[in-house]
Amino acid sequence: MASDATAASSRITPAELSARKGGTPIVCLTAYTYPVARLLDPHVDLLLVGDSVAMVLHGHKTTLGATMEMMILHGQAVMRGTRRACVVLDMPAGSYESSPAVALASAQRLIDETGCDAVKLEGGVDVVEQIAAITGAGIAVMGHIGLQPQSVEKDGGYKIKGGTDAAIATLLADAKAVERAGAFSMVIEGTMEPVAAEITRRATIPTIGIGASAACDGQILVVDDAIGLTVDRVPKFVKEYASLRDTVAKAAVHYAEDVRARAFPGPEHIFQPKG
Ligand code: KIV
């Protein structure tokens, strides 16, 4: 359930973001925790509690490690830390593919148990009925086409999409399907730049790029990538706006030195009885 603080807030709505098609680019980041959500909230339009949380915070090899319970726990934390941004929760693999009814039940649970503003699911033509069932029930949906991390095992790795005429046709059809099913926006991930630009030109809903094109109506990055906290491989499409890896490592070295030298805690950090 949404907390009192989040319920009383005035958030950017999916409909408002949808109306920004072709306007000022929509600023999106992922967030998974309360403190990071609080820090990002004043500066972004949309926070995605991505299923990337399974990799970024829980150390899974792929996003297939995400569960409904994991998404709900992190969704609740992000909702507590935000008043302004539109908060979208990823539907984890296995929670929507089997049927429109299953997809709707999962989406409704994510909304009911977190109070988030919308859900996101991966796929195009193959999930059109799932998206339609969810939007038909009045729940806002963000689509996700192009490279779909939940399909990484099926695809045999993280493969950039749109390199052949057939792949371009598939992407264009996926974008159209997602739009027709009623999504308010769609993520385009890991595609050849001209295809993402063309989808953006043709679509009537905003496209949010990641490894896609500067022409998209908005951009998203995984927050740990953007702040330089990612400890494994940093993908080519990431720009690091800070280098928290170094900051954290230096702080740990300094702390360890202080503890070993009994320089911490100092007099200012300890409690002495009065008198
Ligand atoms: O899970 C995630 O973080 C995502 C974004 C990369 C778009 O889906």
pLDDT band at 9 (very low <50, low <70, confident <90, very high): low
Nearest CA among 181, 183, 209 for reference residue 195: 209
Q: To test ligand 1's pocket by mutation, which of 26, 27, 30, 62 has the most ligand atoms within 8 angstroms of CB?
A: 30
* Alpha-carbon distances, residue 156 vs 22, 107, 149 (angstroms): 35, 28, 11
**Any residues with CB less than 8 A from the CB of 109 and at least 6 apart, and which?**
68, 72
Show Cβ contacts of residue 84 under 8 Å, excluding neighbours closer than 6 positions.
Answer: 9, 10, 11, 12, 41, 42
Q: Which atom of ligand 1 is nearest to the CA of 149?
A: 8
**Which atom of ligand 1 has the smallest separation from the CA of 30?**
3
Selection from 46, 13, 93, 37 nearest residue 187 by Cα: 46
Distance 270 CA to ligand 1 centre (A): 44
Q: For 93, list phi and psi in degrees, rounded to 5.
A: -55, 135
Strands, DSSP E only, in 168-228?
Answer: 185-189, 207-210, 218-221
Torsions phi, psi of 253, nearest 5?
A: -60, -45
Preceding peptide of 265 cis, ω within 30°:
yes
Of 2-11, 83-92, 170-179, where does mean pLDDT reach its minimum? 2-11
Q: What is the pLDDT of residue 240?
A: 98
Q: How far apart are CA 139 and CA 118, in angstroms?
A: 6
pLDDT of residue 1: 46
Helices (H) and strands (E) in the chain, counts: 12, 8
More confident residue, 5 or 90: 90
d(CA 120, CA 136): 15
Query: Does residue 3 carry a pLDDT above 60?
Result: no
Q: Kindly state the average pLDDT of the residues 157-176.
A: 97
The residue-averaged pLDDT of 175-185 equals 98
Is the per-residue pLDDT at 178 higher than 60?
A: yes
Measured from CB, residues less than 6 Å from any atom of ligand 1 are: 30, 48, 50-52, 63, 90, 144, 187, 189, 210, 220, 222
> Residue 2: pLDDT above 60?
no
pLDDT of residue 5: 47
Tokens of 218: 């908005």
Catalytic residues: 189
Q: What pLDDT does 275 receive?
A: 80
pLDDT at 159: 94
Could you report the per-residue pLDDT of 204-219, keeping only the tens digit for each? Answer: 999 999 999 999 999 9
Q: Please state the φ and ψ torsions of residue 145, each to the nearest 5 degrees.
A: -120, 175
Instruction: Return the structure tokens found at 271.
Output: 């409690």
User: Range with the lowest mean pLDDT among 4-13, 37-46, 78-87, 242-251?
Assistant: 4-13
Cα 222 to ligand 1 centroid, rounded to whole Å: 7
Predicted confidence (pLDDT) per residue in 94-141, tens digit: 999 999 999 999 999 999 999 999 999 999 999 999 999 999 999 999
Residue spans of the domains in the chain: they are 4-245
Q: Counting Cβ atoms within 10 Å, is residue 169 exposed (0-12), middle (13-18) or buried (19+)?
A: exposed
Predicted pLDDT at 4: 45
46 alpha carbon to ligand 1 midpoint, in Å?
A: 12
- The dotted CATH code for 4-245 is 3.20.20.60
Question: Which of these, 150, 96, 142, 143, lies nearest to 116 by C-alpha position?
Answer: 142
